[in-house]
Structure 1
Amino acid sequence: MAQTTKIGNVTLNFDRYKGMDLYCDGQIEDELLDIVMNNDPSKFPEIIEKKGSWPVLYHLSEQRSNIIEWIPMSGSEKVLEVGSGCGAITGKLSQKSGSVTCVDLSKKRSEINAYRNKNCDNVTIHVGNFKDIEPDLPNDFDYIFLIGVFEYGQGYIGGEYPYDNFLKMLKKHLHAGGRIVIAIENRMGLKYLAGCREDHLGTYFSGIEGYNSESVARTFTRNGLIQIFKRCGINNYHFYYPYPDYKFMTMMHSDYYLPGLGELNDNVRNFDNSRMILFNEKYAFDGLVKDGMYQDFANSFEVIIGNEFPTVFSKYSNDRAAEFKIRTDISVDRAGRRIITKAPLCAEAVDHINSIRDAYEALKERYRGGDLEINDCQIDEKTGVASFSFVNGEPLSSLMDKCLAGDDIEGFEKLFREYLRRISYNEEMAVADYDLIFNNILVNGPIWTVIDYEWTYGKQIPTKEIAFRALYCYLEEDEKRRKIGIDKFYKELGLSEEEAKDLLEEEAGFQKYVTGNRMSMVEIWKKIGKKATVPAELLPPPEVPVFNPEAIKLYYDYGEGFSEENSKELDTEYDKNGKAMIELELDDNVMKLRLDPVSHPCIVSLTSVKWNDERISDDNSALGIHPNGAWLSDESIVFDSDDPWIEFDFTSDELKKRAVNRINIRLTVSSIQKKQAQDLVSYQYAGSDESDDEGLRFSKLKGLFKNGLKKGSTGVSDRKRKA
């Protein structure tokens, strides 16, 4: 008699379960089980933010299912998922197919899966070793999925050729015309060469060196996988390249649509382990792309064994509020023509897709008679998908990069002025594309075409503000672009320093608007606490200036901002090691305090901050601390400015209730070479496409503005409302 039980609508089958889980992550699985038993999946994003835990992020993030969400299904397919784990993929497969049969070794993980997906009435989970369960499985599956599983074939199957035998075993259970889908790390992925640890072992370079006989898992190169396929008689296979990797895929290329220069810039984050940074992966990827070698060094593979799909590229924008979650695809039709589509990823995003068609009509009208083309947009009323023509041309950003590479600043300036001329046409009309950045304009001779206008608003926006944002995004993508000398471009736009600061605050608010005020993946990465460190040997030569003690200067804000009138130099002096202790009694009407430690690039460690003798910590954050530098750790800040400062904000309701306003600050200042400081700032904020298509990484540009910008600014102007 079959040994089955039900959790919600999900059936668990224990016929082949031997009474003991062969692997277990311990207490974290109990925590995950408690979460899924007592919370709706809609609460998972909030829980992920609160926990700041890699296992919780890995098992519960919606983005895990991106790796299979793009695969077209009719809804009637019969699916086998081998190694279903805690169900990160199962729920999406249930939505897309007719039935899902899962196999997993762990009873506890299968229970997590079942509770998580308890409303799915087409899911059965078989608990036990795949080798034991396999004889009971039918032979007519349309799809077999191995997401992060094939590398464990040695443990599942055993024998001299476990991976070959695993594939041959799976092939027997495919329906004619069925497909096997494998997602796996590339043993020679660039991130491992650049200093990421091997995912399964947590050690450096173990995959690159070929593993040892005791390795629990083995990943493969592209050719290594092809050799396995050929030994199994498989000749119909197709490689896709998830980026940054298959776990949290945001983009996926293929052999038919490879990445362009500058496209791969989300490289530093590594959630599961701290890592080294041995070189800049963006520049290394650009070199591989240029030389046609990307496929061999992509971080991950997704292989479709069986007939190919028309989709050749996908990009996900689902690290957003539900109303903005979409997927952008490039597909090839039967005539060989490329077609671009944008599809809503949930019901809430349907209106957003429809608004893109409205944006097309409005922008077409604005630029009628001008020198800016708007790529056409059509909406399929039945599917809710927007389609666009594939436009040939080179991104304006790429043309600008070529000018910089040749030290042709004059050529760059000429392109920028042409950009201003074209986008300012009919500026007085009440319609504007807020996202008219250089990447979104393709240049083909005299024809400039806007290819993405998702963030178009029914309001007039000054050209200088749109151009400011275009420059902002351009600099964000590549540290080398700072050589343009940004100040002269802001001056040409007629932007004051204060206006630039306001626009940066507006940009930060826009990001929070797009993400629904949720944490970005970069913020979650920081909370998880994994570090990205540069080995000392790779840092610039230690030509560090000798620490020259200076007077510590304080500015007081009584509600009207900081001024020289309300400032003073302290008698407190640094000792020979750059340490100082500041003790202040503050008037009740002091709202903010600004501390200027020195007047050159440095690293400041706030070894202790006490408010009314109570130490400030992450759990006691009523006091806001806002530097114009980059946080290296919970205590240390690096400043690449000649005017470093740290602002202490006393305006929280909790602090206003205190009767005594006494603040004690212990700090240590270390002088640092400006280039070294800039590199550290760049490394700290590099590689984060954090919230949406624009790659908006607000923090990294703080050091460009003398007066800085408060960390965590929010708020969206009334312009940020759709037409």
Structure 2
Amino acid sequence: MGEAKVRPEPIYLREDEVLNRLPEKIGDVILNYKYYPGKDLYSDGKIEDEILAIVKDASRVEYPAIIERKKNWPILYHLSPLRGNIVDWLPIGRKDKVLEIGSGCGAITEKLAEKAGSVTCVDLSAKRSHINAYRNHDKDNIEIHVGNFSDIEPSLPEDYDYICMIGAFEYGQSYIHTDTPYEDFFRIIKKHVKDNGRIIIAIENKLGLKYWAGCKEDHLGTYFSGLEGYPEGGSARTFTRQGLEKIFKSCGAMEYSFYYPYPDYKFPTMIFSDKRLPSQGELTDNMRNFDRDRLVLFNEKYVFDGIMEDGLFDIFSNSYLAVIGEKLDTSYVKYSNDRAVEYALRTEIVDTPKGRIVRKIPLNESAWEHIKGMERFYELLKERYQGSGLWINPCKLMEKKGYVEFPYEKGTSLEELLDQCLEKNDMDEFYRLFDRYYELTAYGEDKAITDYDLIFANILVDGDKWTVIDYEWTVEEKVPAVEIAFRALYCYVLAEEKRNKLNLELLMGRLGIAEQAAEEYRMKEKRFQKQVTGKRKSMGELRVDIGNCCVSPMTLMELHKKEILNQRIQLYYDRGEGFQEEDSHYIPDIYLDDYRIAVEIPFDGSVKALRIDPADRSCMVKMMEFCLNGTAIPLHKKYMETNGKAVKTGCYVFDTQDPNITVRVSDLPVTGENVLSVKMEITPVPADMALDVMGAIKKFF
């Protein structure tokens, strides 16, 4: 262990002071203040008071509506049920004892307490611990220790089945004040887990693609600070996969595995592993800047596709979930809980002694009815498509275990095959695949059983074998095959900008769908989506409501370039033959600020007149200085004329895209070498406004 640095001793309150000021129990949750220093060492300010008031007064089922109403990042972050996805899938059972370090406001605690026999929490903040306790007041298996982990740690037992640090390990140097805080932190943690237990660490990847693409570093809120090695310091440090592995190995932890939460560990919708990495085209949900504005330097989906093609996803995944200990059987998890409660479920790919299988697991009791109906749907769909060449992946109801199970099918999704056709511009093959899709799915359409969600992504193709792998949204109704095909195309095109090259009119013609019918199908799809979501807003809609910007530097650069081009100043010389483009140039670097310019124009005795074009757009110009060889030039049409109008002496408005000011230097006292000194203020004005101003001025200058 590294040499300890000197740190202030904690200020302990007397037991009677603690009891008088802080509740030892909130509902069924126990709070322990033995090592609390008497005040919170960190806080997010007034927003924590607001969150505390919410969890005191509202039930969990009200949180989604509150999140939508408040349109606030901290409230979304601390109260969203999607936060629990990161640990929900772990095989924690009622016999397991869990330690959560950095429990905060309890978003993860809530899920752990649902699964485990007991949960011990450690957090620095009393206020956050109170939020945790109030939101989980109905749980009788939670104890929260308030104070610094290094003070509390010696009193903790050494027999935990799981130790969870979700967004906490990066603060190791705040908990442990040594020269090697992260190694020492991990060693300390490691001694508190059973020999066959597991340590779970969720953390941002220092090299996560989102940071290269323009997201600010999560802890500092600055651009590229993690990529640059935190040159400005800060309380947190994130790591690459290799950096984490180095820490684990240096502490004697040789058995570990990495999972890759996507989009990141805060609100994961998918969790990949080395046994099941994402496919090209799978990572499409990349605009997740709920907390801050961001730049958009490139399209992350396309860059992810290239990364996956070259086998580099483990280097650039936005987040890591490291499992230290015995490897898990789960290789992939997908959450479908950004929807109505009665449809919330988790899909897993699991490796078993008999081979790889797929499970769909309801996330609550009300979703069980939705799940268990899939076995009946399998039988009905199998009967409908018997003899068609379209296979239905078998569903087995595991009622005692509370999920349904499917064989794991190999193949390439029809969606991916169609994308490949578009990339190669092989439209003949695209139409062949689409026609085959329509031929297969239209089979038996007179039967009162329809897989309404028979989209291209839900069909795997392996040679001549086409298999439907997901039929969750089956209805016992007759639905025209053209409607199902239209919906598949509609969803396909909406999901990816590059697919806009498709000739939809041609496809609609192949299906015999008129525009009126297409519009009816679109409206039906909107109603279906409202049914699925329970009219709740998606995470994408919440991001828009919160109001942070996605700024494209390329767009800004083009706008700035256009602005520069519009405002650049061009100088023409008349040497007795009039003004000519060949005898002109742009004057660089003359702006003093956004609107004021200052320039000295040298010219010789051969010049008869000078023309200054102050911009390439409509504008107003105010002359601040106009001197020849140090002597002021009268602002009179004898010496100067414009193609604008004078608002008053020295102030002109131009409604043209080619404003100009001509100085007849031949009528001025010039010498062999001369200098025209000009200072003016140039303000861009919309053309229609400039025209109105000019119309109000009766006299040309």
- TM tier relative to shorter chain: 0.7 to 0.9
Partners of 1:220 and 1:507 lie apart in 2 by 43
**Deviation of 1:384 (Å):** 2.2
**Could you say which residue in structure 1 is the equivalent of 2:529?**
511
Partners of 1:669 and 1:386 lie apart in 2 by 66
Partners of 1:536 and 1:195 lie apart in 2 by 12
Structure 1 residues 669 and 29, CA gap change in structure 2 (3 angstroms): farther
CA deviations over 1:345-390 (Å, ceiling 9, x no partner) = 0000000011111111111010011110000000011022100011
Structure 2 unmatched ranges of 5 or more = 1-13, 564-616, 619-685, 689-701
2:284 to 246, 259, 265: 265
SS at match of 2:373: helix
**Could you say which residue in structure 2 is the equivalent of 1:176?**
195
**Deviation of 1:214 (Å):** 2.4
Task: Verify the 8 A CA contact 2:398 2:404 in the aligned structure 1.
Answer: yes
User: Within the alignment, does 1:430 sit opposite 2:430 as a pair?
Assistant: no
CA deviations over 1:525-574 (Å, ceiling 9, x no partner) = 11110111111457779899xxxxxxxxxxxxxxxxxxxxxxxxxxxxxx
**Could you say which residue in structure 2 is the equivalent of 1:289?**
308
**Could you say which residue in structure 1 is the equivalent of 2:33?**
14
**Deviation of 1:476 (Å):** 2.1
**Could you say which residue in structure 2 is the equivalent of 1:391?**
409
CA deviations over 1:42-99 (Å, ceiling 9, x no partner) = 1111100110000000000000000000001221111100000000011111110111
Partners of 1:248 and 1:479 lie apart in 2 by 24
**Could you say which residue in structure 2 is the equivalent of 1:367?**
385
CA deviations over 1:579-630 (Å, ceiling 9, x no partner) = xxxxxxxxxxxxxxxxxxxxxxxxxxxxxxxxxxxxxxxxxxxxxxxxxxxx
User: Within the alignment, does 1:244 sit opposite 2:257 as a pair?
Assistant: no
Task: Verify the 8 A CA contact 1:83 1:146 in the aligned structure 2.
Answer: yes
Structure 1 residues 444 and 321, CA gap change in structure 2 (3 angstroms): same
Partners of 1:499 and 1:226 lie apart in 2 by 57
Task: Verify the 8 A CA contact 2:297 2:554 in the aligned structure 1.
Answer: no
1:224 to 240, 243, 264: 243
User: Within the alignment, does 1:193 sit opposite 2:212 as a pair?
Assistant: yes
Partners of 1:537 and 1:428 lie apart in 2 by 52
Task: Verify the 8 A CA contact 1:278 1:538 in the aligned structure 2.
Answer: no
**Deviation of 1:213 (Å):** 5.6
2:478 to 460, 463, 466: 460
- What one-letter code is carried by the residue in structure 1 that aligns with 2:178? G
User: Within the alignment, does 1:376 sit opposite 2:394 as a pair?
Assistant: yes
Alignment of 1:509-588 (within 5 A): 509-536=527-554
SS at match of 2:107: coil
Partners of 1:117 and 1:386 lie apart in 2 by 30
Partners of 1:543 and 1:488 lie apart in 2 by 39
Partners of 1:194 and 1:343 lie apart in 2 by 34
CA deviations over 1:103-136 (Å, ceiling 9, x no partner) = 0000000000000100110100000000000011
- What one-letter code is carried by the residue in structure 1 that aligns with 2:62? K
User: Within the alignment, does 1:51 sit opposite 2:51 as a pair?
Assistant: no
1:208 to 227, 235, 239: 227
**Could you say which residue in structure 2 is the equivalent of 1:110?**
129
- What one-letter code is carried by the residue in structure 2 that aligns with 1:73? I
- What one-letter code is carried by the residue in structure 2 that aligns with 1:481? R
1:119 to 121, 138, 141: 138
Partners of 1:385 and 1:333 lie apart in 2 by 16
Task: Verify the 8 A CA contact 1:181 1:302 in the aligned structure 2.
Answer: yes
Partners of 2:432 and 2:350 lie apart in 1 by 35
SS at match of 1:470: helix
- What one-letter code is carried by the residue in structure 2 that aligns with 1:45? P
- What one-letter code is carried by the residue in structure 2 that aligns with 1:486? L
CA deviations over 1:501-526 (Å, ceiling 9, x no partner) = 22111111111111111111122111
Partners of 1:440 and 1:115 lie apart in 2 by 42
CA deviations over 1:617-665 (Å, ceiling 9, x no partner) = xxxxxxxxxxxxxxxxxxxxxxxxxxxxxxxxxxxxxxxxxxxxxxxxx
**Could you say which residue in structure 2 is the equivalent of 1:324?**
343
- What one-letter code is carried by the residue in structure 2 that aligns with 1:514? V
**Could you say which residue in structure 2 is the equivalent of 1:553?**
none
TM-score normalized by the length of structure 2: 0.77
Q: Segments of 4+ in structure 1 off by > 6 A?
A: 538-544
- What one-letter code is carried by the residue in structure 2 that aligns with 1:492? R
SS at match of 2:210: helix
SS at match of 1:89: helix
- What one-letter code is carried by the residue in structure 1 that aligns with 2:513? L
Partners of 1:74 and 1:216 lie apart in 2 by 34
Structure 1 unmatched ranges of 5 or more = 545-575, 578-667, 671-723
Partners of 1:498 and 1:270 lie apart in 2 by 38
Partners of 1:393 and 1:305 lie apart in 2 by 32
**Could you say which residue in structure 1 is the equivalent of 2:463?**
445
CA deviations over 1:477-504 (Å, ceiling 9, x no partner) = 2211111222211121112222222211
**Could you say which residue in structure 1 is the equivalent of 2:156?**
137
Task: Verify the 8 A CA contact 1:357 1:379 in the aligned structure 2.
Answer: yes
Structure 1 residues 334 and 540, CA gap change in structure 2 (3 angstroms): farther
Task: Verify the 8 A CA contact 1:370 1:422 in the aligned structure 2.
Answer: yes
**Could you say which residue in structure 1 is the equivalent of 2:173?**
154
Partners of 1:329 and 1:536 lie apart in 2 by 40
Partners of 1:75 and 1:535 lie apart in 2 by 51
**Could you say which residue in structure 1 is the equivalent of 2:368?**
350
TM-score normalized by the length of structure 1: 0.74
- What one-letter code is carried by the residue in structure 2 that aligns with 1:440? N
User: Within the alignment, does 1:408 sit opposite 2:423 as a pair?
Assistant: no
Task: Verify the 8 A CA contact 1:409 1:484 in the aligned structure 2.
Answer: no
Partners of 2:78 and 2:473 lie apart in 1 by 32
- Say how many residue pairs are matched: 551
User: Within the alignment, does 1:311 sit opposite 2:330 as a pair?
Assistant: yes
**Could you say which residue in structure 1 is the equivalent of 2:7?**
none
Partners of 1:539 and 1:456 lie apart in 2 by 49
Report the identity percentage: 53
Structure 1 residues 390 and 34, CA gap change in structure 2 (3 angstroms): same
**Could you say which residue in structure 2 is the equivalent of 1:30?**
49
Partners of 2:459 and 2:40 lie apart in 1 by 54
**Could you say which residue in structure 1 is the equivalent of 2:513?**
495
SS at match of 1:181: strand
User: Within the alignment, does 1:421 sit opposite 2:439 as a pair?
Assistant: yes
**Could you say which residue in structure 1 is the equivalent of 2:672?**
none
**Deviation of 1:326 (Å):** 0.4
Partners of 1:72 and 1:20 lie apart in 2 by 37
**Could you say which residue in structure 2 is the equivalent of 1:633?**
none
For the aligned residue pairs, the C-alpha RMSD in angstroms reads 2.1
